[in-house]
Amino acid sequence: MERVKTAIVGASGYTGQELLRLLLLHPQVELVAATSRQESGRSLADVFPRYRGLPGSELAFIAPDPEAIAATGAKAAFLALPHGVAAEIARALLERGLKVIDLSADFRLSDPQVYAEFYGHDHPAPDLLAEAVYGLPEIRADEIAATRLIASPGCYPTSILLPLIPLLKKGLVDPATIVANSMSGVSGAGRKEAIPLLFCECNESARAYGIPKHRHLSEIEQELSRAAGDAVRITFIPHLIPVNAGIATTTTATLADGVAPEAVGEALEEAYAGADFVRLLGRGGCADTKHVTRTNFIDIGWEHDPRTGRILLMSAEDNLGKGAGSQAVQSFNLAFGLEPTAGLRLV
Q: Which of 216, 223, 215 is nearest to 166 (CA)?
A: 223
Q: Are 128 and 149 in contact (CB under 8 A)?
A: yes
Q: Is 155 a catalytic residue?
A: yes
Q: What is each CA distance from 173 to 4, 179, 182, in whole angstroms?
A: 43, 12, 20
Q: Which of 219, 184, 241, 34 is nearest to 108 (CA)?
A: 219
Would you call 246 exposed, middle or buried from its count of C-beta atoms within 10 A (0-12, 13-18, 19+)?
A: buried
Instruction: Give the DSSP H or E segment for 221.
Output: helix 216-228
CA triplet 37, 42, 46: central angle to 5 degrees?
125
Pairing of strands 278-283, 298-305: parallel
Angle of the 216-228 helix axis to the 155-169 helix axis, nearest 10: 20
Q: Which positions are annotated as active-site residues? A: 155
